A = this chain, B = another copy of it.
Amino acid sequence: MVLPPKDHPRYKSLLAREKLVDASEFVAKQGLIAHGRGEAFDYLLGEQTCLPALSAIKAASSALIEAKNPVISVNGNVVALAAREVARLSEISGAKVEVNLFHRTPERVAGLTKMMKKVGIDALGVNADDKIPGLSSERAKCCSDGIGSADVVLVPLEDGDRCEALVKMGKKVITIDLNPLSRTAQTAHITIVDELTRCLPLLSDFVKEKNGLDSFNNKQCLTDVLNYMAERISS
């Protein structure tokens, strides 16, 4: 990995990019493009957690605290960027971790499971014995003791179709997505419009402190984020 200079004004953003390229054996090429889309929206956010996102993080904290079988669904980008942050949230919240991929191959599932093992997490995913209804074969696979039986699913950086399918299954879906206009952002119950490695530690802290927010309107939150971005662009 080529580390960017620590004093670079965009150090964190460049580091994230290098992490992804470094793990590119297990990150889909489409995942690299998707990351770039996120970078652009984060740029518009000023690479900071905005106030509406903070509300969404608190609402997510409440949902995880109240959940009976919470699961964190991770893909290549999530593991490459935030394996440690996911591990900490899993430990604090008691949520299981499942490797669940849009561009699924046995090699990628095994490689990503190994990367989670390195940060102390026995992730589900290799033995996928269940299905998310309404999706085509490889994209539908999941684990019955993971996503299959979860009541709350935190699924960062998810595809729109799959997010919608999880909602239709009756799960409470929390997503993390830098594009407030994406179908995933619009479909999930709680959308955190923030960068992954920035919001996951906050979410872990809130769960630990039992700091939550029970009254939350996702549509309003997304509108607030869009207005915040628009104001930043025109200034």
A interface, CB within 8 angstroms of B:
17, 20-21, 24, 29-30, 32-41, 43, 179, 181, 226-227, 229-231, 233-234
Contacts and interface: CB of A to CB of B under 8 A. Distances in A.
A146 B6 CA distance: 36
Contact of A233 (B40, B43, B233): B233
A24 B33 CA distance: 12
B41 A36 contact: no
Nearest to A41: B40
Closest 8 CB pairs of A and B: A36-B36, A40-B40, A230-B234, A32-B32, A33-B36, A230-B233, A36-B37, A37-B40
A17 B41 contact: no
Contact of A33 (B32, B41, B43, B231): B32
A69 B30 CA distance: 38
A37 B37 CA distance: 4
A113 B37 CA distance: 28
B33 A181 contact: no
A41 B32 CA distance: 16
B36 A32 contact: yes
Contacts of A30: 17, 21
Contacts of A179: 40, 43
A11 to B, nearest CB: 16
A73 to B, nearest CB: 21
Given A24-B29, A39-B40, 14 more contacts: A20-B29, A21-B29, A21-B30, A21-B33, A32-B33, A33-B39, A36-B39, A37-B40, A226-B233, A226-B234, A230-B230, A230-B231, A230-B233, A230-B234
A80 to B, nearest CB: 12
